[in-house]
Structure 1
């Protein structure tokens, strides 16, 4: 059993389809109006049906007042880290401190290569992500000029800025032991998805993060654990994350107090607006109360 006892947070994961702008904005407005914490936007620039994630994030932040937004997760090979840091800091300033940064090493290598991005093998992609974390941190720093000489990225005295409006959280969407350990040493959060990492796989990955965090002098509880949860709220049980509200509350509470997750970002098939209403109005408040009751 693992409960890092972090505040429980909730969000939504609308699909960035270019033909569904009104639906996306309805979902985002609902999240903002009902007091959710985050909006996550996936980043697949090679997907022809998708809007550009950073353009959409800017629009989401411009049309909301309190909810935070983040790329879930940014495609590093197609987003050079110095420019990624600049874009993130700029949106953070423009939104009054409501941008967080999710970052991934980049899957779908052939599609990345088709857009003239670097085609890296898994080891190269991992090394590039480790370097990118350093570049981004330094581009948000107060250094006079940043120099960096890595295998994937090089900076030759660039002046960082503007500084973000708040300390932007750097969350990694990673799965392998090398990058999970790097996360424990240097990042602020972990973003797995229920479709790739089922609950039974979470403890072993937490252990890698926690061991590296402790070795670096960090408390494992400093690291946020964000879970993209994909499913449906249905009248009758149909399996994990597919069932009635009570089932969702039980499963999310277990994920929080036994499996260590603290932030739940909900996505559902076809971006059914009724599903998002049920999430925000029924599942979220009941889960907050259940976790609080369990902890006391």
Structure 2
């Protein structure tokens, strides 16, 4: 299974006591492609994800940034669209959007957001994608009337510098159907979507895209690597030394079609990931893809 060029990045937990900007600048300096910030506004002692993203973009020069993933129930879609587009313009087109229906109904409700069932949350997510794309369009006289959201504006905008991808953080079968129909990418955490489930999810995503008349190859596949990198023996998937990670990430890219990886382990292990694992995976994937073309 061959897809587009590989991207590698860091996923930050926005703990206010951690050196967040320094970690982002290290990821930028190491040549990583993506910087994700987890968005859980209801958790105490966490920085606001959008504010942190803006600071990260101001303090870096090349890395692309995104929320992984924006908590929709606490982020009204029109306001979120404006914030993301503004960051994209100010950064010269270095922003993408990860979007999700919210992982903690209790936390969302405690923070003033709505408590929705699974089906309603999916409908709200689909409506949000429509509103955000309307907001980023160059149309005038915009109106949207949905079950969960309403939107009206004489003019759209601001329009982003580049076509921002909307990557959905979903894990269930119906969420994958939605992503296949409307999203530019799928974000899957390794703790909830291990390799066996990843294969099933990829098939579901591809089938939904084909039914919608879309090319599945145009949907980015982002895998959040929730593990640990150390020199000890293997303790299971994504828990072991660099050579194990090189093998597993190569298999995820070649065998499962993953094209983007976000390291969500200890930031102190970032140099090993960026300087040892990433170059080796790029080299191995290039070699295996070339061999497959020649076979």
Give the TM-score of the pair, scaled to structure 1: 0.95
What residue is the counterpart of 2:8 in the other structure?
10
Cα deviations across residues 55-104 of structure 1 (Å, max 9, x unaligned)?
A: 00000000000000000000000001111111110000010000100000
Per the TM alignment, residue 179 of structure 1 is displaced from its structure 2 partner at its CA by 2.1
Aligned partner of 2:142 in structure 1 is 146
Q: Secondary structure at the match of 1:19?
A: coil
Aligned CA-pair RMSD: 1.1
Q: Partner of 1:174 in structure 2? A: 170
| SS of residue matched to 1:13 | strand
Partner of 1:227: 223
Residue 256 of structure 2 aligns to a residue whose secondary structure is coil
Determine helix, strand or coil for the equivalent of 2:66: strand
Residue equivalent to 2:21: 25
- Which one is further off, 94-103 or 10-19? 10-19
CA distance in 2 between partners of 1:156 and 1:286 (Å): 50
Give a deviation string over 1:39-58, Cα, whole Å, max 9, x none: 01000001111000000000
What residue in structure 1 maps to residue 55 of structure 2? 59
- 5+ residue gaps in structure 1? none
1:256 to 2:250 alignment = no
1:277 and 1:92 mapped to 2: Cα distance?
27
Which of residues 80, 87, 99 is equivalent to 2:83? 87
Q: Which runs of 5+ in 2 are unaligned?
A: 291-295
Question: Displaced runs of 4+ in structure 1, greater than 6 A?
Answer: none
Aligned with residue 293 of structure 1, among 282, 287, 291: 287
Partner of 1:200: 196
Deviates more, 1:26-35 or 1:189-198: 26-35
1:214 to 203, 207, 210: 210
Task: Map 1:24-43; keep pairs closer than 5 Å.
Answer: 24-43=20-39
Indicate whether 1:129 and 2:125 are aligned. Answer: yes
Alpha-carbon displacement from aligned partner over 1:105-125 (angstroms, at most 9, x marks no partner): 112112111111111111111
Q: Distance in 1 between the 2:103 and 2:237 partners?
A: 26
Which residue does 1:247 correspond to in 2?
Answer: 244
State the alpha-carbon separation in 1 of the partners of residues 241 and 173 from structure 2. 35
* CA apart distance, 1:158: 4.6
TM-score w.r.t. length of structure 2: 0.95
| Alpha-carbon separation, structure 2, partners of 1:203 and 1:237 | 23
In structure 2, what is the Cα distance between the partners aligned to 1:105 and 1:159? 27
**Counterpart contact for 2:136–2:159, Cα < 8 Å:** yes
Deviation digits for residues 203-241 of structure 1 (CA, Å, limit 9, x no counterpart): 111111111111222211101100000111222222111
| 1:238 aligned residue | 235
Which protein, 1 or 2, shows the higher relative CO under an 8 Å CA cutoff with sep ≥ 6?
1
Residue 284 of structure 1 is matched in structure 2 by 278
